[in-house]
Structure 1
Amino acid sequence: MPENLIDWKAFAETRNLLGAGFVRILGYFRDDGIKSVAAIEEAFHLKDPVKLVMPAHTLKGEAWQFGAHGLALLAEEIEVAARHYVEIHIDPSELVEKVAQLRPTFEATLAALEAEASPLVERKPSSFGQRNALGGMSYG
Structure 2
Amino acid sequence: MSHYYTLPLFDTAELTEARRVTGPGFARIVHYFHEDGVKAIVAIEHAMHVRSATAMVLPAHTLKGEARQLGAVRLGEIAEAIEMTARDCIEKRSPPQDIAVEVSMLRSCFAETLQHLDPAPATGAPSALPALATSATKLRRTAHRPAIFGRRT
TM-score normalized by the length of structure 1: 0.80
Displacement of 1:95 in angstroms is 1.0
Match 1:96 to one of 88, 97, 100: 100
Displacement of 1:2 in angstroms is 2.4
Equivalent position of 1:33 in the other structure: 37
Equivalent position of 1:62 in the other structure: 66
Which fold has the larger relative contact order, with Cα–Cα distance below 8 Å and residues 6 or more apart in sequence?
Answer: 2
TM-score normalized by the length of structure 2: 0.73
Query: In the alignment, does 2:88 pair up with 1:84?
Result: yes
- Aligned pair count reads 118
Identity among equivalent pairs (%): 41
Cα deviations by residue, 1:82-122 (Å, 9 ceiling, x for unpaired)? 0000011001011111111111111111111112899xxxx
Larger-gyration structure (1/2): 1
Say which SS state the counterpart of residue 95 (structure 2) adopts: coil
**2:73 is matched by which residue type in structure 1?**
H
Task: Indicate if the aligned counterparts of 1:30 and 1:110 stay in contact, CA closer than 8 A.
Answer: yes
Equivalent position of 1:108 in the other structure: 112
Query: In the alignment, does 2:5 pair up with 1:2?
Result: yes
**1:2 is matched by which residue type in structure 2?**
Y
> Where do 4+ consecutive residues of structure 1 move more than 3 Å?
none
The answer for unaligned runs of 5 or more in structure 1 is: 119-140
Alpha-carbon RMSD: 1.6
Partners in 1 of 2:82 and 2:5 — Cα distance? 14
Task: Indicate if the aligned counterparts of 1:5 and 1:71 stay in contact, CA closer than 8 A.
Answer: yes
Partners in 1 of 2:117 and 2:24 — Cα distance? 16
Equivalent position of 1:129 in the other structure: none
Match 1:46 to one of 45, 50, 53: 50
Cα deviations by residue, 1:11-57 (Å, 9 ceiling, x for unpaired)? 01000001121110110001100110110000000100000000000
Equivalent position of 1:16 in the other structure: 20
Equivalent position of 2:151 in the other structure: none
Partners in 1 of 2:106 and 2:121 — Cα distance? 22
